[in-house]
Amino acid sequence: MRFGYDGSGFSGWARQPAGRTVEGVLRDGLRTRGITSSAGAAQLEVASRTDRGVSARANALALRSELSADSLLDRLNAIAPEVFFTAATQVPPGFRVRHAERRVYRYFDAGPALRPQGWPGAAALFVGPVDVRSFGRGIPGESPQPRLVEAVTVRSIAGGRVIEVRAPSFVWGMVRKIVGALREVDAGRLTLPRLQRAIDGAERLTLPLAEPGGLVLWDVEFASIRWTDHWRGPNRYQATCARRLRQGLWTRVWVAAALGDVVSGRASSSADPFPPLELLD
């Protein structure tokens, strides 16, 4: 099953004793929606486990069910409005969704860059083996621990940039650490030679972790999977959830503009706020 979710209301993918998680919501829904007799019977496995606040556009999971693909899509999409299932296909026994060919993440980084011309060059250093001790969370070891990174690209968009990272697999916090490193280079606090040494494993860096809200698991790719059944579109509850999200964003833009004008001294307390055009694009 290909699926996505707005991660802002979840404490990550994995079940926890306390906190609402994507896995916990789905396991509860598998039983209540009549998809399987129990959560354990579904043998649920996910391709990528995301952190608190991280969203997904096209994650993938495998489960066991006697229902048809169309029925599965309908029932899974009825579990929670901020979780959406967009495609399905049958897989052979023994298939492991964790063995995906690659994962693709995109990070939406807001704000102006101090040295925009330097971002692509810094990003290109990550292509190839990367010692993840500087670019992951809680990774011990005296010897380098390389992971292959296939591509890191930076593209400017209105109000910021999109950083895309492609790799067969990732360690905990890896994309957010890569973004943190690129920000440090942009701010002049990290030189390209030091970044290269950290990538090669010759130096260990303590890097900031980029905020989770900008990160989206964009795609999970499989060499042998072709999606055969597709989502017919949002149900009433999903459409309502999407509309409320857009309305909430609209409200936040106007509130931010009003407060920003007052704090910066650009407007009196009685003036009407007018958000900058780039905020409304």
Annotated catalytic sites, by residue? 51
DSSP secondary structure code for residue 212 in this structure: G
Q: Which amino acid is at 160?
A: G
The H-assigned helical ranges of the chain are: 22-32, 69-76, 119-124, 174-187, 192-200, 236-264, 277-280
- Conformational region of residue 19, where left means phi above 0, alpha means psi within -120 to 50, and beta covers everything else: left
Strand partners, 215: 107
Instruction: Indicate the burial class of 176 (C-beta count within 10 angstroms; 0-12, 13-18, 19 or more).
Output: buried
Report in angstroms the alpha-carbon separations of 269 from 193, 255, 260, 266, 273.
49, 13, 11, 10, 9
Buried-exposed string 89-126: b where 16+ CB fall within 10 A, e elsewhere: eeeeeeeebeebebbbbbbbbeeebeeeebbeebbebb
CA 181 – CA 175 distance, rounded (Å): 10
